[in-house]
Amino acid sequence: MNILVTGAKGMVGTALVNNLKNIRDGKNRTRNIEINEIYEYDLDSTEAELDEYCAKADFVFNLAGVNRPENPEDFMKGNFGFASQLLDTLKKHNNKAGIMLSSSVQATLAGRFGNSEYGRSKKAGEELFFEYGKETGAPVYVYRFVNLMGHSRPKYNSAISTFCWAVANDEEFTVNDRSTELEVLYIDDLVEGMFDLLEGKEQHCEFDGVETVLDENGRYCCVPVTHKATLGEIVDLLEEFKSQPISLMMPKCPDGSFAKKLFSLYLTYLPTDKFKYAMKMNCDDRGSFTELVHTVDCGQVSINISKPGITKGQHWHNSKWEQFIVVHGHGLIQERNINTGETVEFEVSGDKIEAIYMIPGWTHNIINLSETEDLVTVMTCNEVFDPSHPDTFFEPV
């Protein structure tokens, strides 16, 4: 399959092309799609290139368009004019390849979009594509996207991109109304939706005002994985992400959640000098102990370094429990039940990584058996350390 992507250098085009290349080059084997060539068309491309691509393409993603022109009349020129040129070129070569149109929910011209010049230009483009499909028999797929969330230029046409950039770069910004709600589609979900389309698994819909209504016989297509959040919720999440290197608290980001996607996007706006941040190492003559990650409901992860011959621990807990995982060196872990006196010990090594539970009610220690090497241990705990309630009591094993 040869695929033409117009608007290939835009936010959506860049993401789509990158991931199409992953499939073409065998780096992504999760899809049943065979790709030979990917033709990238954008503003710096020539009409001759468009002519060549339209002659060879087996599928077309039309992502080209304008959304922030200097003059409102340029909406129609940019969104309708190029669409006409593209379709005329396909007809010239009698190419009935399937074609996808990136439109907008503003094309509904409903509610707050009733007077949208952008929406009118998108609506005109939609009708042009539908007529082209009737005339030629070529499959036409029109997607009315909501706000798109991906890495794009800040202070342009995406509030989320602007907020991400501002928070990541310590810039001032203004939220006019924290209660304003956005419906957003994450760029990775959009790309997966385009792969579904190439596999013949696209989802169809109709519109009730600006709301998408799934309908297998619908005129339009959609990517149904969208999220709704207020500007206030978005900014609060971004401030939480920003504080993570200081608090160590990993925000709750369940799989598929808006928070998880927003955190990934936020990180793409970090300046390179923020890629690295220092951890607080608690050091003494025995070695060091460093907390790495805190979580809201799954405790914390730390790393412990013990110098040769050193014994650490010698304490027990009522409810707190831990796992010790030696990743480098050679050590011995000992545990004793404080009530029964039963003892157990485990010889551990970075050559064979194992996890050992530190059981509540069992005093425990960890001994570096080496005379020359540090013992490096990853330690997980079911709770974040609370100095006001440490639940830790000295007791030699």
φ, ψ of residue 252 in degrees (nearest 5):
-70, 115
Q: The sheet that has 343-349: what strands, in order across it?
A: 343-349, 330-337, 362-368, 311-316, 393-394
Residue 118 a catalytic site member: yes
**DSSP-assigned letters across all residues of 217-281:** T-SEEE----EEEEHHHHHHHHHHHHHHHHH-EEP---TT-HHHHHHHHHHTTS-GGGS-----E
Q: What is the rounded CA–CA span in Å between residue 361 and residue 357?
A: 12
Q: How far apart are CA 185 and CA 129, in angstroms?
A: 23
Per-residue DSSP letter, 352: B
Residue 343: other Cβ atoms inside 10 A: 12
CA 206, CA 202: separation in Å to the nearest integer?
14
Distance CA 29, CA 50 (A): 30
For residue 185, give Cα distances in angstroms to 135, 150, 198, 257, 396.
32, 9, 19, 12, 57
Side-chain half-sphere CA neighbours of 282 within 13 A: 7
How far is Cα 61 from Cα 86, in angstroms, rounded to an integer? 11
**Which one of the listed residues 118, 143, 186, 220 is annotated catalytic?**
118
Q: Is the separation of the CB atoms in 59 and 3 below 8 Å?
A: yes
CB atoms closer than 10 angstroms to residue 230: 15
Q: Residue 80 gets which letter from DSSP?
A: I
Starting at the edge strand found earlier in the chain, the sheet holding 227-230 runs 147-149, 181-186, 227-230
Cα 168 from Cα 271, distance rounded (Å): 7
Cα–Cα distance for residue pair 47/23, rounded to 1 Å: 28
Residues that are catalytic: 118
